[in-house]
Every structure is written in structure tokens, then in C-alpha cells.
Amino acid sequence: MTTIQFDVDADGIATLTIDVPGQSMNVIGPDFITDLSSAIDRIGQEDAIKGAVICSGKASGFMGGMDLKNMESMLVPANGGAPDMAALFDKVFVLNGMFRRLETCGKPIACAIEGTCVGGGFELALACHRRIVADDAKVQLGLPEILVGLFPGGGGSQRLPRITGVQTALMYMLQGKLFRPQEALGLKVVDELVASGNTVSAAKTWLKANPAASVQPWDQKGYRFPGGAGGFNPAFVQTFIGATAMTMKQTQRNLNGPIALLSAVYEGATLPMDRAIRVESKYFAKVIADPQARNMVRTLFVNKQAAERGARRPEDVAKSPTRKLAMLGAGMMGAGVATVSAQAGIDVVLLDRDQAYAEKGKDHARAVLTKRLGKGMTPEKLEATLARITPTTDFAQLDGCDFVIEAVFEDTAIKAEVTKKVEAVLGADTIFGSNTSTLPISALAKAWSKPENFIGVHFFSPVEKMPLVEIIVGEKTGPDAIAKALDFVAQIKKTPIVVNDSRGFYTSRCFGTYVQEGAELLAEGVGAPLIENVGKQLGMPVGPLAVSDEVSIELGYKVMSAAKKELGDAYVHSAADDVMTKMVEMDRLGRKNGKGYYDYPEGGKKALWPGLSETFPLASVQPASEDVRTRLLYRQLIECARCFEEGVLETPEDGDIGAIFGWGFSPWTGGPFSHMDTVGIRKVVETLDALTAAHGQRFAPTAQLRDMAASGATFYPAAAQKAA
């Protein structure tokens, strides 16, 4: 065995210590499946073995589930054709069948869990007869597969409901929500909590005291499903009525995983376990046979992890963690960066033009951290974190800082003035990062004597919640600056993408097209409710008019005005510009002043402004919802493709990660580049040509897209190879 160490003590208790080589976290791969299968045979066949404990040999935790990096070969046939569903079922049932053999091997099996135990690892634990967990707030348990386009496929969708009841199980599985130890104990998901380091000894104690405890509750005569199950049980039926409606609302029917999960639980709950797990595998095979699963797993898990581990970091630059950060500007963005930096153990000098503003920034950190008391945050930890933040107006206090992030007002002259004052204290050898969301980095770098040490570090609001940081490389930005910025992002546990300089960079530029197309539709007389509902049905977090209100119509107007001034005659005017101008003239600036495309009554629920239909008269004939959906989607796709052709983006991985985590691009697609590959570049070009003919040059395909369509190329090379 290469992944499991098998030991038997004098009492006949076998200890299976999982330690998958070459992995920081234990994962389920072909070698592990082979080893565990052999171990199950041995446990069941050797009379000298009275029971077994399964534990981890890694400090990182028990197990992190399937090795999703290597699932690609199972998700897509090598020849690019349709999958053989019978063969695929057999493949996915291997894990389910093995866990079933484990729980029916005739010997009691206990699981000793320390640290992370999620996905397939938690399904392994559910197949054990006793689950003993370290009573540590850092321990996480659960089935988060739904978050990457899958659902529990190793028996989890059948065992968890049989432990907690359908309602609780669905609540956790549909949200990908994890359990903390005390929570899991209260729901009887685990059987016992012990001090960290004592799980194995506690498991052995239980095994010796319970030598006959080798039959799961659901295999015992007289077992009753918690809360009841089946179409004649009112509570069961009511749960599924509510769960189905809520799932359809939240997913807009775009995601395969939640629908398959609901079906597997509903059908499996009334069947014996041997049949129920086959139902689960049937639905799991259907989910992974669809390209959606491949795309979501690749972007939301594999590529995201690669980015966080430094996929874009220059290899020949030594690690350079930030010890003391100069945070310029104590507004919402600056205060947010200061908060996450202090949480990461970094000292922060929070500088603003007024001491009261600087103190307010620190107060923001206090408010954010106070909300986390009892959720891993203690009063002592809170005060220690706050002590790392020093609010000031004195540039001299920046002395000793080894990294700078600027988040002052979005004005080139103001930023240049602040930049020069910082250089006077720290010198130009210090790496300087600007949090600008639109201003070209190469232009801002002119205020720093060594532009090779100047870089864009674009955060998203609210910083504490938004996972993405967009690193922008200017014309003269050097590898040391890129490495420093990426090392900082790793310290604060965010996900980075690296893009090249342009107005709006990648995320702001492409996000803006969603907002602009919504305004274009409004200008053409399309009803605001149709625009907003279709935006949400597309899988975007909110409609384009609502998001415009959130970021501020006035901000969009200012960005437009700045672009007009810089580009002059080269600027291409649009109907969306007229809509924004009209709204600003009417002082309808968005949520910030209580009125935009929506009204925001104090203490009430927001609603579309009734005056929209008078200000922008409705057309006599309204377009089909599918036509609106196509425009909102493809306006974003073509801008992403332009960024790729222009070299703003260097990899489709950055493009997909940035779109989903930056502006909420429809997660079910796996990102714009994954979606274009899946639709087919030729079909994408045909659709764009039709949109260009109907609505103008903003939809015109790039030359690169036309070349790709002609040659059969794709953004992800592996897809091209399989299609060949």
C-alpha cells in the first residue's frame, strides 16, 4: 500500500493511517481506492482483526475528498464524443460500492477525525460505525460538492439524511455548508468529541467496548427514517415542495448539481441502502457527463487553487512576505484592506488626510471583527488584531513599511501627490501598489521614480468578503513587484489573477459591459422588469440596473466622462451614455442617495422607480426574454475575448476566475472562456455576427475569434485536443 499504513495492535484493532504521498491534504485517487479496497478485504477476512480505526497521518486534516485535479479524464471522453453512460456509471459507483463494503464488512469501524474532513472524506466517515472528532474550532466537516458543480456522490446524499432527517441534510448539502464539531454533535452527525490528539485512543476504547457494533442503523431491523420519508409522509413532501421552490429561485434552473441532489435524495430515501446508492450514482454520472461539471470544477476548484498557490508568480524571485503595510486612504476600501492585513498578522499604518478619518478606518476594523466574536474570534484575539493598526496623518510614520497600497480618491493628480510624498519617506525601492479600479497603472507609475516597482492591486468591495484581487502589471512593472503583490495576496488568503494594463483592466472593463447593455436595452424601450429578471435568470447576482445602482450611476458617469476626455474623437458614444447622463441630471445617482433606477424608501424594500417608463418610454413590442439574455451574455463574452486578444489577459484561467469571483459572472458556465469553448467558437462567432448586424459594432467578433472558429481552436488547449 502506498496511501495507507495498516497496523494491527495486540488487541486485534487495526489502524488505517491515511497519508497520500505528494499531497498536502489527503485526497481520494486511484491508488487510495485500490489500497482501501484491499484493507477492507483484509479487515473482513482476518479473524484476528476485531475492528478498525481510520485516521490521517497528515497535520492538514483527515481528508479533502476526491482528487478533482484528475477528474478530467472521467468527465470527458478522450475522443471528445458522447460518454458511454453505462461505463461512466460503473466508474462512479466504484467509490460508492467500496464504502458500502466498508460498512457491511462485519467488523466495527471507527473514524478518528482531526482537522478538515469534507467531500469524499466525510462520506468515508459517514460509512463508519462511529465518528469521533477533535473538539477544535478549526475542524470542518461536511459535503461542499455543490459549490463546484457536483453533489455528494460517495453515499453522502443517502447517509446524511438517514442520520439527520431530510430537511437538515438538504439545508447543508444544497448550500455546501460545513459543520463545526459542536454543531455536528448536536445534530448527531458525529458521535463523540474529544480533545485534539486523543481521537485514535478514544476510537480504540469504543471498539474494544463495542465488538459487535458492526451494523449501521439503516441496516437494522425496525430502522425509522428521522422525520419520515416517502410520498405519503406530509413532512417529507412539504420539505421537498419548499426545497425545490427555493432551489429553483436560487439557481434559476442553471445548475445541474442541486436538481440531481434533490432527485437522488427524494428517490433514495424510500429505498434500501444498496439500491439508494445506485440511484445516487446514476444521478452523479449524469451530472459529471455534462460539460458544466468539468467547467465548474476546473475554474472554481482546480484553477482557483493553482492561482492561490502561485501559478502566476515569477519563479526566480525569493519569497517576500509583507511585515508592515502602508495603507494610504482609510475609506471603505482602505479600511477593509487594513482589516484583512491585520488579521493575517501584518502591522498596518493606516494613513488619511484627517485623523478622524483614519480613526474611523480602524473603527471599521473593530466593527467587522466584533461581529465574529464567538465564531473563531476571541476578545483577546480581537484586541491583538486591532493593535496592529496604527491610524495616522503623518507620512513620517510610514517609515519601516515594506509594501504600500494606495486607495485614495480616483484622481490622477491626487494619487501622484500622495505617491511622491510616500517615496520621500520610503524610497523608490519599496514596492508601491495602487488600488485604482480604472486608471491605467502605467500612467500612475510615472509618479514613482522606479516604475518597475509600481503595480496595480485591485481589491473588490467589501474587502472582507470578496475573494478576488486583480494584480495589474504596468508597461514597466518588474518581476519583484509582481512577486511581492502575489505574496501579499497569499498572506491575506485571497485569490489573485494577473492581468496587463489597460483602461478598466479586465474586471472593471468587462463588468461595465453588463451594466452598459442593461442601459442600452432601457434606452431602446425594453421594460426594466424584463431586463432585471433576465439578468438574474442568466445567473448574475442581480440585474444590470440594480448593480449599477449599487456601484453608483454617478461613478459610471465619471468613468465615462474621463474616458471621453482621454480618448477624444476616438471615443465611441453609446445610448447607455445618454441614459447615465439623464439619470445624473435628475440627481438619481443610485443607492447612495436613495434613488437611482430603483427607489430606496427608508426602512422599506427597494423597488424599480415608477418614473423609468416615462423617462425611457416603453417600445410597443417587447423582445423575447431569450433575446435579452443573449445580449446580456454575449456583450460580456465579446469584451472578455477582446481582453484576451489585446493581451490584457494572458491565460483563460485568469479570465474565468476573474469573471466569476470579480463581478459574479454566471458560475454555472465555469467562466466566459470555458463557456465559449463549450458552446463552440464557431457558434459564438455566428451569434456575435447576428448581434452585430442587429445592434452594432460593440458585438463585433475579434479577428482572433474568427481565426479560432476557422481552425477549430479553443481557449483551453486540452479541449482542442479532445475535439480533434
The helix/strand/coil state of 212 is: coil
Contact criterion met (CB below 8 Å) for 193 and 134:
yes
C-alpha grid cell, residue 717: 488547449
- Which helix (H) or strand (E) is 614 found in, with range? helix 612-615
Q: Which of 323, 338, 347 is nearest to 484 (CA)?
A: 323
Cis peptide before 672 (omega within 30 of 0): no
- Which helix (H) or strand (E) is 364 found in, with range? helix 355-370
Contact criterion met (CB below 8 Å) for 11 and 48:
no
Residue 300 per-residue DSSP state: I
CA distance 491 to 539: 31
CA distance 344 to 492: 6
Sheet holding 4-8, edge to edge: 4-8, 13-18, 51-56, 109-113, 130-134, 192-194
DSSP assignments along 629-670, one per residue? HHHHHHHHHHHHHHHHHHTS-S-HHHHHHHHHHHH---GGGT
Q: Judging by beta carbons within 10 Å of its beta carbon (0-12, 13-18, 19+), is residue 106 exposed, middle or buried?
A: exposed
Contact criterion met (CB below 8 Å) for 415 and 443:
no
Active site residues: 458
Q: Which of 155, 166, 160 is nearest to 66 (CA)?
A: 155
* 598-599/178-179 β-pairing: unpaired
CA distance 599 to 597: 7
CA distances from residue 458 to 83, 440, 447 in whole angstroms, order as listed: 42, 12, 18
Residues 6+ apart with CB under 8 A from 300: 147, 148, 149, 660, 667, 670
